[in-house]
């Protein structure tokens, strides 16, 4: 208290300390938000993941994972917003601080939006990429050719066309079935057209008096 009242070397420090107190408080608030952003994000993401477990697919989990980093950054931006409000009550910050906070908010929103769009695009392209790779496996491994009689666990018929994404198979009832290539490469396929030998079962009925 003696230093506070008398100052240092006869200089009254009370006005300087009073002017610095809002800056120190703002810095402490910003530091607090910076250190706790990971803890806050984990609590929020864990709550969202518990809700997502009620769904039967993992699509919700993909979107939640995409929002994790933008959420962590948004919590930090909110801390900067609180700190600038503390400063503006006693220190002239100018318009540049307000413009910076608004820019960070817009950046966070666009970041989250692009992450969601990227995740949605990746989920939509997942099946197409799997079908393309499936078509490549059919061509490279020559699993079957046009005109082959094939059988899968769900389908039996003659191959009419092999495409990059799907294969057309004509069933014996003359119905045309379009099958994604990924389904044809992930399950067993019986190719009757490549049989080396054929076994034929004949049932011949005879009378008991036949000798």
Contact, 209 vs 174, CB < 8 A? no
CA angle 177, 178, 181 (to 5 degrees): 135
Contact, 137 vs 162, CB < 8 A? no
Contact, 167 vs 181, CB < 8 A? yes
Average pLDDT across the chain, whole number = 79
Measured in whole angstroms, the distance separating CA 66 from the mean position of its chain's CA atoms is: 6
Non-local (6+) Cβ contacts of 101 within 8 A are 77, 80, 81, 84
Cα 118 to Cα 63: distance, rounded to the nearest angstrom:
10
Class (C level, CATH) for 139-194: mainly beta
Place of tokens 């499936």: 134
Q: What is the CA radius of gyration of the chain?
A: 35
What pLDDT shows up at residue 136? Answer: 87
The percentage of the chain sitting over the pLDDT mark of 90, rounded to a whole number, equals: 14
Using CA atoms, how far residue 19 sits from 90, 95, 168, 175, 179, in Å, is 8, 20, 79, 85, 74
Most confident of 2-11, 25-34, 119-128, 183-192: 183-192
Give the model confidence (pLDDT) of 3-33 as tens digits: 444 444 444 444 444 455 677 777 888 888 8
Cα 185 to Cα 180: distance, rounded to the nearest angstrom:
9
Q: Answer yes or no: is pLDDT of 125 > 80.
A: no
* Token output for 198: 């054929």
**Sign of dihedral through CA atoms 133, 125, 44, 83?**
positive
Contact, 112 vs 141, CB < 8 A? no
The continuous run of DSSP H or E covering 68 comes out as helix 59-88
Cα 70 to Cα 207: distance, rounded to the nearest angstrom:
85
Cα 81 to Cα 142: distance, rounded to the nearest angstrom:
63
Beta bridge partners, 161, equal: 168
What does the domain layout of the chain look like in residue ranges? 2-93, 139-194
Give the model confidence (pLDDT) of 61-79 as tens digits: 788 888 888 888 888 888 8
Cα 170 to Cα 168: distance, rounded to the nearest angstrom:
7
Which pTM was predicted? 0.50
């Amino acid at each position: 208290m003696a230093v506070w009242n008398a100052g240092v070397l006869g200089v009254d420090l009370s006005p300087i300390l009073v002017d610095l107190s809002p800056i120190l408080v703002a810095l402490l608030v910003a530091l607090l938000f910076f250190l706790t952003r990971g803890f806050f994000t984990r609590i929020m993401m864990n709550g969202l993941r518990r809700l997502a477990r009620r769904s039967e697919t993992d699509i919700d989990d993909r979107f939640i994972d995409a929002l994790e980093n933008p959420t962590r950054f948004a919590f930090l931006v909110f801390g900067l917003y609180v700190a600038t409000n503390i400063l503006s009550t006693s220190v002239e910050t100018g318009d540049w601080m307000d413009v910076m906070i608004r820019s960070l908010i817009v950046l966070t929103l666009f970041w989250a939006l692009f992450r969601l769009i990227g995740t949605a695009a990746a989920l939509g392209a997942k099946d197409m990429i799997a079908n393309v790779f499936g078509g490549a496996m059919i061509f490279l491994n020559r699993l079957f050719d046009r005109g082959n009689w094939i059988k899968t666990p769900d389908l039996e018929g003659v191959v009419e066309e092999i495409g990059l994404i799907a294969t057309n198979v004509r069933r014996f009832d003359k119905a045309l079935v379009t099958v994604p290539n990924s389904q044809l490469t992930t399950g067993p396929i019986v190719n009757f057209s490549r049989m080396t030998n054929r076994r034929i079962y004949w049932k011949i009925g005879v009378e008991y008096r036949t000798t």
